[in-house]
Each structure stands twice: as C-alpha cells, then as structure tokens.
Amino acid sequence: ATPMSIMVASGKGASLGVLFKNAEAIQTLRRVDTLIVDKTGTLTEGRPRLQDVVAAGGFEEEQVLRLAATLERGSEHPLAAAIVQGAEERGVSPERYTDFESVTGKGVKGRVGAQAVALGNRALMEAEGIEAAALAQRAESLRAEGKTAMFVAVDGRPAGLVAVADPVKETTPEAIDALHEDGIRIVMLTGDSQTTAQAVARRLGIDEVIAEVLPEQKAEKVKALQAEGRFVAMAGDGINDAPALAQAQVGIAMGTGTDVAMESAGVTLVKGDLRGIVRARRLSRATMRNIK
C-alpha cells in the first residue's frame, strides 16, 4: 500500500479506537483466518469477583476466607484482588503472612501464623502432594458454572474452596458474532481449568478451547496453529501474553492491559473492545484494495 493510504487507514483506525503500530499490521490483518484470544482480561473484564466459599476438613467458611485473603495480599493476580476484596466486603479481616511464594500459573503459598497455607489450582495441589479428592467434585461443579475454583489447603490437607467469576465484557458476544460472520475461527487460550474455559466458551460460541496452559506455553500454542497453515492473530492483555502476541502474524493488545502486551503487539484496541478487530480488518481490506 502507498504511504498515503496507510496514513489514512491509521487515522481512521485511531478514530475507531484501533491503534496500528506499523504498516505491516494494517497490511496483514485482512489475511487472518484464526483469532486466538486470551480469556481473562480479553474476553472477560479481568475483574473477577468472589462468589463462593466452601469449608471442609473441620474448618469454617470464615477461616477459609481469612486464610485465602491473608495470603493473596502478597499476590498481584486479578484472582487475588477478588479474594481480598471479597473478604473485606464480608467483614473478614486478614492476618499477617510470612514466607510468601507465588507459583506462576498455579497459585500461591506461605505461612499464616503456625499454619502452612497453599491456595491455587489442581496442579498446585499435585505439586504440593496434597490429596484434594474430597473437594474435587464440588470444585468441578463450580467450574461448570464458568467460575474459577481454587483449593485452599492448610498443613497439607484440604480446608476448602474459594470460587470467583469474571464477567464477560459487554461487547464480547457481538464481537464474536461479527468475527464469525467474517469467516474467522476463534480459539480460546487460557491458564484456567478445562471445565471453566469450556463453560465460558460454550456460552460465547467459541470454536475451540486450549486450557490449562502455563504462561510460558502460550507462544508454543500459537506456533502449533501456525504449523497447521493457519494465519493467526492473537489477542491478549497480560505480561504472560507478550511472547504469544509477538509470535502471531498479528498481535492485538488490549489498551486496558499491560504495557508489555502493547509493546509486543502490532495493534492496540484502546478500550479493549474486541469489535475493533472487525473494524480493523475492514480498514485492512479497504487499504489493500486501493493499491490494486
């Protein structure tokens, strides 16, 4: 395309809340046939809220929530913020923690007084050698509702569950319908559990789900789809998504997300509205048509 047509497309994009980093992004977007989307913060608002607290093993709900909220004060994860805020709203005040450790893609652990507390997904429980079978079914039914359920364990034994739900962005269903009309296949990529991811995907009509992916595996999953001959755009918001955004033919960052994601992407959706992708593809087609 001519520099002039690229400039025009950039200007139009900006007025629609779509920022192109370079000419390449404008030129390649029209060729995309597969959109890979991160779930948390991209399809959803990324501001989960505490929904359920389940107690087990002789613990009380309030204790379970207090221990969870205490430990999560050490974490910067959106799930942590939901648990801390949920406790506050329920009048449960946290205590002091020590020996805090964050286990990427799995959860957190540390000590609260004399108690060793672990909080996270099944993989964390397995890594810690904690037998959580007694709570597995309850966790699974919370996940089937699209919630993220996390195990709380104390001194190596299950003490309960906390579940949070992250609302889907208001604009997401319309964006997905429009992308489908445009002939694009949509793949959800998430570190969340298979069951939670499937529940959210089903609700939105997403074509394919790749769940329980560790942050460092996201770029690999993009590569695997490219190896199938697909022309891939990846949309994400987190630091974790940056390598995958860079790997995709077109990286699309949420303007509501982290700077690292925006730096790795060719396109930024200012308000994190996925409908911008459809508009951007329209601009891409129009720009490339002009030069023929």
The site for ligand ADP (CB under 6 A) is made up of 39-40, 72, 75, 77, 79-80, 105-108, 119-121, 148, 150, 190-192, 215
Candidates 93, 48, 106, 98; CA nearest to 71 is 98
Active site residue 166: no
* Amino acid residing at 291: I
Report, in Å, the least distance between residue 214 CB and Mg ion. Answer: 14
Q: Which is nearer to ligand ADP, 23 or 261 (CB)?
A: 261
Q: Which is nearer to ligand ADP, 192 or 273 (CB)?
A: 192
Select the binding partner of residue 161 from ligand ADP, Mg ion, none (C-beta < 5 to 8 A, by kind): none
Report, in Å, the least distance between residue 139 CB and Mg ion. Answer: 21
Rounded CA-CA distance 113/191 in Å is 31
Q: Specify whether the CB–CB gap between 49 and 164 falls below 8 A.
A: yes
Report, in Å, the least distance between residue 259 CB and Mg ion. Answer: 14
* Amino acid residing at 281: R
Candidates 209, 228, 291; CA nearest to 4 is 291
Q: Which is nearer to Mg ion, 193 or 287 (CB)?
A: 193
Q: Which is nearer to ligand ADP, 146 or 191 (CB)?
A: 191
Report, in Å, the least distance between residue 93 CB and ligand ADP. Answer: 19
Rounded CA-CA distance 272/171 in Å is 9
Q: What count of Cα atoms within 13 Å lies in the side-chain half-sphere of residue 116?
A: 5
Where in the sequence numbering do the catalytic residues fall? 38
